[in-house]
C-alpha cells in the first residue's frame, strides 16, 4: 500500500466580483441580512456572454496545480472532477479537461456529491493511489452556479449564497507512510435528497414539461430548506470530524488547520466553537467567494497554503456537508 500526498495546488475564480450591494439592485435583499446570516460580502460570477464554464475554470486551476507540482500534463495518470454544474448533461467535465490540457487518453471520472464533492473526489483519488494503480492524479472541484440561479426576490434565499470558481490539486504517490492523506470518512442520507435539490431537467422531469407549464414550473432553480440544512450541517460536521480524529488517535488540539466547506460562516463558527478551536486553527474565506460548493474546500486550502498557513508536518482537517445529504472528512499530515 502506498500513501498519497498533495504535491500541487491551484485555484481560479472569474474576474467579475458581485457585491451584496450589486444584488440589492436586482432583488429585495440587503448587505446587512446577507452578512449577518451568511458572512458573505462578495462572490465571483461569470458575466453573461463570457466563454468561461465549469470546465474552463477547472482547467485554469489545474494548470497552476500541475506546474506547482513540478509536473507536466503528460505526467497525470487520471482525472477526478467534482461538480454539480457540469457543462453538459453528459459527458462529464473530466473528459473535457483531458482534451483542454491536451493530455494522453487517460481515464477521467466525474463526482456528483455537491458540497461534499471535493472530499469524495479526494478520497476516490486516494484509493487509486493506495492500491498502486496510479501515481499522479489531478483532482478538480469547479462550479458555475451563477447562470442557474433565480436572481429575483423569489430566489434570494439561495442565490445570494452561491459563487463561481474552481480549485485543483495533484495527489501523488509517496513512499513516506507518515505523510499525506491519513484517512477519509464518507456518509450519505438520501431521505433528505429533496431538502437541497435541483429537480429538473431530469430524465423523469424533462424539458417539454417545463416549457408546457408556461413559466409556472421553476424546478430547474435550486431549492434549499435552509434552516433544516443548517441544523443537519452542524450535527454532521461535528460527528464526522470526531470520527476522523478518533480513527487517527488525534485530539482537537492536534489540528493545525481546519478547512470546512464554505457553506455559511455561521456554520463554520458554530462548529469551531463546539470543537473549541482557536481562530488560528480554522480558515474561512466565504466572505470573498460565497459558497462555491465542490470548489470551496480546494479554493480555501490553496489560499491558506499560499498565505503560508500550512507547514510541513501540519495536521490539516477538511470536512464538508451538503446536498444528498452527503458529508465527509479527510485528515492530511502535510
Ligand atoms: O453548502 C450546502 C449546504 N448549505 C448550507 O449549509 C446552508 C444552510 N442554511 C443556511 O445557511 C441558512 O438557512 C440561510 C443563510 C440559507 C438562510 O438563513 P436563515 O437564518 O435560515 O433565514 P430564513 O430562511 O429562515 O429566512 C429568514 C427571513 C425570511 O423572511 P420572513 O419569512 O422571516 O419574513 C426570508 O424571506 O429572511 C428572508 N430572506 C431574506 N431577506 C433578505 C431570505 N433570504 C433573504 C435575503 N435577503 N437574501
pLDDT tens digit string along 89-139? 999 999 999 999 999 999 999 999 999 999 999 999 999 999 999 999 999
Could you tell me the distance, in angstroms and rounded to a whole number, from the CA of residue 156 to the centre of ligand 1?
8
The answer for 184, left when phi > 0, alpha when psi is -120 to 50, beta otherwise, is: beta
Closest CA to 322 of 215, 211, 232, 227: 232
Q: Is 322 in the pocket of ligand 1 (CB under 6 A)?
A: yes
d(CA 247, CA 214): 53
Per-residue model confidence (pLDDT) at position 177 = 86
Identify whether residues 289 and 153 lie together within a single domain: no
What value does the mean pLDDT take over residues 25-44? 98
The mean per-residue pLDDT over the stretch 292-307 comes to 98
CA dihedral 246→247→248→254, nearest 10 degrees, is -30
Q: Cα 246 from chain centroid?
A: 24
Ligand 1 centroid–CA 268 distance in Å is: 16
Q: In whole angstroms, give the CA distance from residue 138 to residue 80.
A: 6
Question: What per-residue confidence (pLDDT) applies to 187?
Answer: 98
Statement to judge: residues 212 and 140 lie in one domain: no
- Return the exposure string of 53-67: e unless at least 16 CB atoms fall within 10 Å of the residue's CB, then b: bbbbbbbbbbbbbbe
Identify whether residues 198 and 300 lie together within a single domain.
yes
Average pLDDT over residues 186-215: 96
Q: Are residues 172 and 292 in the same domain?
A: no
Helix (H, G, I), strand (E, B) or coil at 69: coil
217 pLDDT tier (thresholds 50, 70, 90): very high
Pair 132, 197 in one domain: no
| Nearest by Cα to 192 from 220, 161, 225 | 225
Last residue of a domain, one of 177, 202, 217: 177
Question: pLDDT digit string (tens) for 227-285?
Answer: 999 999 999 999 999 999 999 999 999 999 999 999 999 999 999 999 999 999 999 99
Domain range enclosing 324: 181-333
| CATH number of the domain within which 112 lies | 3.40.47.10
Please count the structural domains in the chain: 2
Residue that finishes a domain, picked among 148, 177, 206: 177
Q: Same structural domain for residues 267 and 296?
A: yes
157 close to ligand 1 (CB < 6 Angstrom): yes
Ligand 1 pocket test, candidate residues 193, 226, 320, most atoms within 8 A of CB = 226
228 with 167, same domain: the answer is no
Question: Residues 213, 145: one domain?
Answer: no
**For residues 296-304, average pLDDT:** 98
Amino acid at each position: 500500500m502506498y500513501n498519497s500526498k498533495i504535491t500541487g495546488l491551484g485555484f481560479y475564480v472569474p474576474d467579475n466580483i458581485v457585491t451584496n450591494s450589486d444584488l440589492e439592485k436586482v432583488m429585495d435583499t440587503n448587505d446587512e441580512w446577507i452578512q449577518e446570516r451568511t458572512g458573505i460580502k462578495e462572490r465571483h460570477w461569470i458575466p453573461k456572454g463570457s466563454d468561461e464554464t465549469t470546465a474552463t475554470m477547472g482547467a485554469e486551476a489545474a494548470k497552476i496545480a500541475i506546474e506547482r507540482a513540478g509536473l507536466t500534463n503528460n505526467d497525470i495518470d487520471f482525472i477526478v472532477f467534482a461538480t454539480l454544474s457540469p457543462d453538459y448533461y453528459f459527458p462529464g467535465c473530466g473528459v473535457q479537461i483531458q482534451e483542454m490540457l491536451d493530455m494522453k487518453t487517460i481515464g477521467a471520472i466525474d463526482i456528483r456529491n455537491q458540497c461534499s464533492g471535493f472530499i469524495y473526489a479526494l478520497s476516490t483519488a486516494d484509493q487509486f493511489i493506495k492500491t498502486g494503480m496510479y501515481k499522479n492524479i489531478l483532482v478538480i472541484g469547479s462550479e458555475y452556479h451563477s447562470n442557474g440561479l433565480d436572481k429575483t426576490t423569489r430566489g434570494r434565499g439561495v442565490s445570494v449564497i452561491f459563487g463561481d470558481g474552481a480549485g485543483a490539486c495533484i495527489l501523488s504517490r509517496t513512499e513516506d507512510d507518515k505523510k499525506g492523506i491519513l484517512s477519509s470518512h464518507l456518509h450519505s442520507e438520501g431521505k433528505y435528497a429533496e431538502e437541497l435539490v435541483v429537480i429538473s431537467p431530469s430524465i423523469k422531469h424533462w424539458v417539454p414539461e417545463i416549457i408546457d407549464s408556461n413559466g409556472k414550473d421553476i424546478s430547474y432553480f435550486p431549492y434549499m430548506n435552509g434552516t433544516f440544512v443548517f441544523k443537519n450541517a452542524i450535527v454532521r460536521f461535528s460527528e464526522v470530524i470526531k470520527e476522523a480524529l478518533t480513527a487517527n488517535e488525534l485530539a482537537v488540539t492536534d489540528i493545525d488547520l481546519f478547512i470546512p466547506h464554505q457553506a455559511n460562516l455561521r456554520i463554520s463558527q458554530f462548529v469551531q466553537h463546539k470543537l473549541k478551536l482557536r481562530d488560528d486553527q480554522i480558515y474561512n474565506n466565504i466572505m470573498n467567494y460565497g459558497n462555491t460548493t465542490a470548489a470551496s474546500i480546494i479554493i480555501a486550502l490553496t489560499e491558506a497554503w499560499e498565505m503560508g498557513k500550512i507547514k510541513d508536518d501540519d495536521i490539516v482537517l477538511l470536512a464538508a456537508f451538503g446536498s444528498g445529504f452527503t458529508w465527509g472528512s479527510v485528515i492530511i499530515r502535510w
